[in-house]
Each structure stands twice: as C-alpha cells, then as structure tokens.
Amino acid sequence: MFIKEYQIKVILPDEIFSKYKMGTIAYLDIEATGFDLEYDKIVLISLGYYLSEGEFKIVQYFAESPSEEVNILKEFTKAMGKFKRWCSYNGTAFDEPFIIRKMYRYNFGYRLPRDHMDLYKFIRPFHKRMGIKSCSLKSVEQFIGIKRKDEINGAKWVELYNEYLLKHDEKLKEILMLHNYEDVVNLPEIFKVVNVIDNDLDLLRKEKLAKKQMSLMKNNINTKQPLKTVSGRL
C-alpha cells in the first residue's frame, strides 16, 4: 500500500465557499479494476477536504496489488470518519455502491454519510441548456476553463493498472494517481456550475416545465392544449 498526501491552494469565491459550506465536505473518488461489485477491487481512493478556506488537502490510498484493497479501505475509513457530508461526480452510480459493498464484505462498522452531493446528478438536467458538450466530468471541467494534465479515461486506467501489476513501473503509478488526483482536486471548482444553476431562475423554471410535460406524457393525460403551452410557473 502506498499513501501520498498533498496540500495545495484551491480558492473559490467566498460566496460559493460559504453558501455550500464547502469546508465541511469530503471530496471523494475511487478507481476499481472493473465494474463488478463482487469480483473487482477498489485499488485507489482519493480523499480531499479543506483545512481552511483556500487550503485543500488530498490523501491518496493506492493498492500496489489488488489484495491490498482491505488495507486502503481501512486507512480511508479512519480519515473519512470525521465527515458527515461527502461529494462526488457520479458517485451514486459507481463509488457509493462499490464502497458500501466492500464495507459489508469486510465487516467494517463504518458507513458512508447519507448526505451525499453527487454533482453529476445535479448538473445533468441542465448541461445542454448551459451549452456544456456532455455531462462527463472532463466536459464540465472544460466548460469552466480547467485544463487537466491527465490524458487517460477510465478504461485506459484499468489497462495501465494491469500493466503496472506486471512491471511495477513508478511512472505508471504516477499516471494512475494523477488521473484520480485531478478527479478530486477539481470537484470544488465544479461548484461554480452548481452555483450558476442555483442562481438562474429561468433555467430552473424550464427544467420544472420539462418535468411537468414529461409527467403528462407518461400518465397519458389528454389536454386540449399543446404540451408546450402548459404552465410552468414555480
């Protein structure tokens, strides 16, 4: 097991930092050897949090072999225990079920906080109207001007990890850890998009109207008016 710590500046407008109480949130991302909750292993966890406004710390827990999954999870839960809120990007679909399953498997007493801010779920209904190319993390990062050093995707990550297991090449380890590091260090910046959505009443009104129209269609309600004229007042 390899653990690496970083302390860097991640500065956001005070309005955003205070509004979302960002100093109380754990920013989290994992990497696994695949998508099978039973068979595949969690082999890298990055945990970020604010020490104070502007001062951000990241701790990475890297399994130098899949058998070290239990070790990195133990260390992660020690650090995570002080948080009651956490943030991810599409963690509801990937990180959360993986971690829950592993906690059960290893009979850990720890449970993830219920207060989970999945930024993907929040942004997804609005990204097209905002002009964001897709709802992938990299597309949202590009939209707000973030330029990553990391150039690999999830599938390539697994391929390189398997190569690392054969070669134990330190350069490969750096590439693997950089990908996960950037996934976490950029999460606070994504709150800029969340804040735009929160403050754009017209955007919220259009989304509510779209949901109302979909509900009418799903329930096969016959109206004399075209759906586009159904009121969307908040």
DSSP string, 89-130: SSTTTTHHHHHHHHHHHTT------SEEEEHHHHHTTTHHHH
DSSP state of 39: T
pLDDT digits (tens, 9 = 90+) for 66-99: 999 999 999 999 999 899 999 999 999 999 999 9
- Per CATH, is 2-213 categorized as 3.30.420.10? yes
pLDDT of residue 111: 87
pLDDT of residue 151: 85
Crossing angle, helix 201-218 and helix 187-199, to 10 degrees?
80
pLDDT digits (tens, 9 = 90+) for 159-190: 999 999 999 999 999 999 999 999 999 999 99
pLDDT of residue 34: 93
Instruction: For Cα atoms 174, 77, 24, give the angle at the middle one, nearest 5 degrees.
Output: 90
pLDDT of residue 226: 41
pLDDT of residue 234: 35
Distances (CA, A) of 221 to 122, 213, 215: 28, 10, 9
The model's pTM is 0.84
pLDDT of residue 53: 95
Token pair of 109 as six digits: 């007493």
Give the DSSP per-residue string, 128-195. HHHT-S-SSHHHHHHHTT---S----HHHHHHHHHHHHHH--HHHHHHHHHHHHHHHHTHHHHHHHHH
In a structure prediction context, what are the per-residue pLDDT tens digits for the chain, which is 234 residues long? Answer: 999 999 999 999 999 999 999 999 999 999 999 999 999 999 999 999 999 999 999 999 999 999 999 999 999 999 998 999 999 999 999 999 999 999 999 999 888 899 999 999 999 998 888 889 899 999 999 999 999 998 888 889 999 999 999 999 999 999 999 999 999 999 999 999 999 988 876 665 655 545 544 444 445 544 444 434 333 333
Q: Hey, where are the domains in the chain?
A: 2-213
Q: What is the sign, positive or negative, of the torsion defined by CA atoms of 90, 174, 190, 147?
A: negative
pLDDT of residue 203: 60
pLDDT of residue 29: 97
